[in-house]
């Protein structure tokens, strides 16, 4: 008789621990230029990715200038030939770094301005012409999961609480037909 109770406890624990990313955010790409028939992204000009909080409570994300948020946005583009091109942030060194949270209120946006500069992004060399674009925003606290709060160091303890309070999950935009222009 303990089996159904155990299953119920495991199910409740799983539902409260795992983030439901798709229900938390809407993600949209705002191209550099758009007409009735054609959406254009110029490689060297900015376009935007907008995350909108769909919940009834605040959600915390990381600003892009810190390592906690720098790598969170990526893209998948598919050419006419079916070849998938993955575009992600290029690695970089950090001379100064610390978590920089951004709290997004219910119904409000978090806007990321993107320019595919070759020094900032990997995978942009083959972007040209008609493609299907999908934006992916992923935040994981896996890198920090082994760190335990330290009651002896209040600053370190507060930083760990801040890191673990951020939204964790992945959300993907609907595929969009765009023309990539170099």
pLDDT band at 117 (very low <50, low <70, confident <90, very high): confident
Find, among 164, 173, 170, 83, the residue nearest to 126 by Cα: 83
CATH architecture classification, 19-181: Sandwich (2.60)
Once rounded to an integer, what is the mean pLDDT over residues 91-113?
A: 93
Instruction: Give the pTM.
Output: 0.81
**Which of residues 36 and 127 earns the better pLDDT score?**
127
Q: What proportion of the chain, given as a percentage, has pLDDT over 70?
A: 80
Which residues have CB under 8 Å from 109's CB, separation 6+? Answer: 50, 51, 52, 53
Q: How far apart are CA 77 and CA 113, in angstroms?
A: 18
Once rounded to an integer, what is the mean pLDDT over residues 6-23?
A: 41
What is the residue extent of each domain of the chain?
Answer: 19-181
Contact (Cβ atoms closer than 8 angstroms) between residue 131 and residue 78: yes
Rounded alpha-carbon distances, angstroms, from residue 78 to 17, 51, 174: 34, 22, 13
Mean pLDDT lowest among 2-16, 84-98, 129-143, 148-162: 2-16
pLDDT score for 29 = 97
């Amino acid at each position: 008789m303990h089996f159904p109770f155990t299953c119920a406890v495991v199910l409740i624990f799983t539902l409260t621990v795992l983030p439901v990313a798709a229900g938390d955010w809407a993600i949209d790409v705002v191209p550099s230029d758009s007409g009735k028939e054609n959406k254009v992204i110029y490689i060297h000009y900015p376009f935007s990715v907008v995350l909108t909080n769909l919940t009834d409570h605040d959600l915390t994300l990381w600003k892009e200038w810190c390592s906690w948020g720098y790598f969170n946005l990526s893209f998948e583009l598919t050419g006419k030939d079916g070849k998938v091109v993955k575009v992600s942030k290029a690695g970089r060194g950090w001379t100064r770094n610390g978590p920089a949270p951004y709290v997004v209120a219910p119904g409000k946006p978090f806007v990321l301005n993107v320019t595919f500069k070759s020094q900032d992004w990997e995978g942009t060399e083959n972007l040209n012409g008609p493609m299907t674009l999908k934006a992916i925003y992923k935040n994981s606290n896996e890198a920090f999961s082994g760190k335990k709060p330290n009651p002896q160091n209040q600053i370190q303890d507060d930083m760990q609480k801040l890191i673990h309070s951020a939204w964790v999950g992945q959300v993907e935009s609907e595929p969009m037909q765009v023309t990539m222009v170099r």
